Structure 1
Amino acid sequence: MKYYLRRIIFYLITLWAAISLNFMLPRLMPGDARSIFIDKLMRRGGEITPAMENSIDLVFGTEDSSLWEQYIRYWGNLLRGDLGISITKFPAPVTELIAAALPWTLILVGTATVISFILGVALGAIAGWKRGTAADAIIPGMTLLQSVPYFWLALIFVAYFAVQFRLFPIIGGYSLRDFPAGPEWSWAFAQSAMYHAVLPAVTIIIASVGGWVLGMRNMMVSTLSEDYVVTAEAKGLTRGRIFTWYAARNAALPSMAAFGITLGFVVAGSIVMEQVFTYPGIGKLMINAVQDKDYALMQGVFLVITVTVLAANFIMDLIYGLIDPRARNNV
């Protein structure tokens, strides 16, 4: 119980610090960030409407209010789910833009990450179990895959499978020709979305599976020399039982912890991949917000990413405490 209580307190303090930092960032910019932003908007031909002014006040604060009053108002808006209005996509609320982009990232990057983890852990366990054999020969290839940059692999896939062989679409998350009105709930749209997601998903899996394989293989080799594995072999247990319950189960614990961190960053999307394939996810939304200096949208995206990473790590800490009693006993 003490372990879980300390974890809860730690993550609550971290969440408060992250939200407070998210509030302070625009206000820590050199000069009068509010006036500079309004001047840039006016030079681009923008018009300061009352709704837009309220959004600017939410991000930068009002001129006649203290920092503490702005901080309290920020928390109040945050608890109501109000993250402000996007300046570049006015009058769309930031929450709507994030809600529209989030499912694309969760489905694509989340599914690809889970597949990469399961495939990498399974291959790494087999390679470590049969070290020195032909099964262990996959390690050099995995090392090569791990060193391949995301963008380079994505560009190769686009050049060959999309441009040269025309097997997959070049950009987008669905066919704009077939669905000009946007996403819809239909089997035809789901097929189009899955077809467009093949190359981005394969890019993520190939570029990330090598790390899981190498990590699991090394832990497997180390675990096989532990006393409890040697004891299990001396008792005459079947090799399948030793592999599953004694070796692979314990060797996978560090990978499980790393998987929790990776899963948290799924919400951030694969920025480079989404940019190369023009995929409508959180990563591309964040790039556009940074390029357009849309501070309200940037704050909203950063906040969602931070909260999701903390939530994923918190859940994995709880699971880790259940599967490994040593974590609870060391508190």
Structure 2
Amino acid sequence: MRFFLRRAVFYLFTAWAAITINFFLPRMMKGDPVSAYIASNQGRISPEAIDSLKILFGLDNDMTLWQQYIQYWGLLLHGDLGRSFSRGLAPVTDVIGAALPWTVGLVGLATIISFVLGTAFGAIIGWRRGSKADLVVPFATFFSTVPYFWMGLIAIAVFASSLGWFPASHAYGKGADPAFTFQFIGDVIVHGTLPALTIVVASLGGWILGMRNMMITVLDEDFVTVAQAKGLPQGQVLWRYAARNAMLPQLSSFALSLGFIVGGTIVMELVFSYPGVGKLLLDATTAKDYPLMQGLFLVITLTVLVANILADVAYAILDPRTRQLEG
């Protein structure tokens, strides 16, 4: 309990710091959302509307910075992240909510598949070190060094343009009406297969190499030798003793990967014209849509924190020594 309380206090402080920085950062930048919105409308806004916009964006000149900060927290606790002027003053929560499922569904699923396959293959290759299984490592490492955009372009050229197996872009076919039907879901799966495979192939090598190296280290530990001396089945020694301890460092990397899922793979989403959060963040930056950028940064930051909390919990469950040291 002491371990979890310590971690909870640490992450609550980190969340407060992230939210506070997220409040002050746009106000320290040159310009403000209202000025950018006026410039985008070429001055077709009355002075009364300008004052209303400043109140809408929490930049009321009649309020002190502290009052704006308190108001920001009040709106945040009510789930109000402001208005996106590049999206017709639509609520930021609605804009992010429309793009978030696409990124989580694509990048999240691809990351989990890559982690599971890479960790399993790395454990087996490390267990059979010195055998022909080691030949997988150079090929996997090579693919992990290829940039996302280059691999995506190659995948489009081969599997979309030449072979015609998969669509080259977008999340679903043009003219299709989004609906929870088998036809639309199948269309989404077909469009998402190529970018998902690109992410899996590009990130698989890192998981394999990391797990293999940790397995080689763990196999020299005494508890593995004792387990083998007891005559336990090889599969049990591999997965319950060696792999369970070797995958602990993998969990930290996996937690960070899960956290950055919300940020999306910006380059991949651009290459495949995928309507995810990464592309939305780039569009918001190009349009200088400060409220939308602020909302996206906040969601990404909090997601990384939640992912790290889950990693700490999993780490403590798998390795009791962590709880003892923290306690």
Matched, 1:84 2:79: no
The SS at the match of 1:25 is helix
The one of 119, 133, 136 aligned to 1:135? 133
How many residues matched?
A: 326
Distance change >3 Å, CA 71–CA 235, structure 1 → 2: same
Kindly tell me: are residues 127 and 46 of structure 1, through their superposed partners in 2, closer, same or farther at Cα, counting changes over 3 Å?
A: farther
Query: Match of 2:71?
Result: 73
> Against the structure 1 CA distance between its residues 53 and 174, is the aligned structure 2 distance closer, same or farther, given a 3 Å change threshold?
farther
Q: Given the alignment, which residue of 159, 180, 188 partners 2:183?
A: 188
- Aligned pair in 2 of structure 1 residues 288, 34: CA closer, same or farther (>3 Å)? closer
Q: 1:124 aligns with which of 119, 122, 125?
A: 122
Q: How much identity, in percent, do the aligned residues show?
A: 50
Deviations 1:3-28 (A, max 9, x none): 10010000000000001111111111
Distance 2:14 2:323 in 1: 20
Letter in 2 for 1:90: G
Letter of the 1:248 counterpart:
A
Report if aligned partners of 1:55, 1:85 keep a CA contact under 8 Å in 2: no
SS across alignment from 1:279? coil
Cα deviation for residue 329 of structure 1 reads: 1.0
Task: Quote the Cα distance in structure 2 between the aligned partners of 1:302 and 1:50.
Answer: 31
- CA pair 34-271 structure 1, distance change in 2 beyond 3 A: closer
Answer whether contact 2:34 2:57 (CA < 8 A) is retained. Answer: no
* Aligned: 1:21 with 2:21: yes
CA gap of 1:54–1:147, structure 2 versus 1, over 3 A, is farther
> Secondary structure in 2 aligned to 1:330?
helix
Q: CA deviation at 1:34?
A: 5.4
Taking structure 2 as the reference length, what is the TM-score of the superposition?
A: 0.95
1:312 pairs with 2:307: yes
Change in 2 beyond 3 A, CA 1:130/1:67: same
Deviations 1:206-231 (A, max 9, x none): 01010000000000000000011111
- Quote the residue 2:195 is aligned against: 200
Cα 1:55–1:279 change in 2 (3 A) is farther
C-alpha contact (below 8 Å) 1:55/1:296 kept by paired residues: no
Q: Which residue does 1:283 correspond to in 2?
A: 278
Q: Which amino acid aligns with 1:243?
A: L
In the superposition, relative to structure 1, how do residues 144 and 64 fare at CA in structure 2: closer, same or farther (>3 Å)? same
> Any gaps of 5 or more consecutive residues in structure 2?
none
> Aligned equivalents of 1:74 and 1:139: distance in 2?
50
Q: Which letter does structure 2 place at the counterpart of 1:143?
A: T
**Structural RMSD (CA):** 1.8
- Judged with a 3 Å threshold, the aligned counterparts in structure 2 of structure 1 residues 189 and 125 are, in CA distance, closer, same or farther, namely same
1:116 to 1:317, Cα distance in 2 relative to 1, 3 A: same
Using the TM superposition, give the Cα deviation of residue 33 of structure 1 relative to its aligned residue in structure 2, in angstroms: 3.3
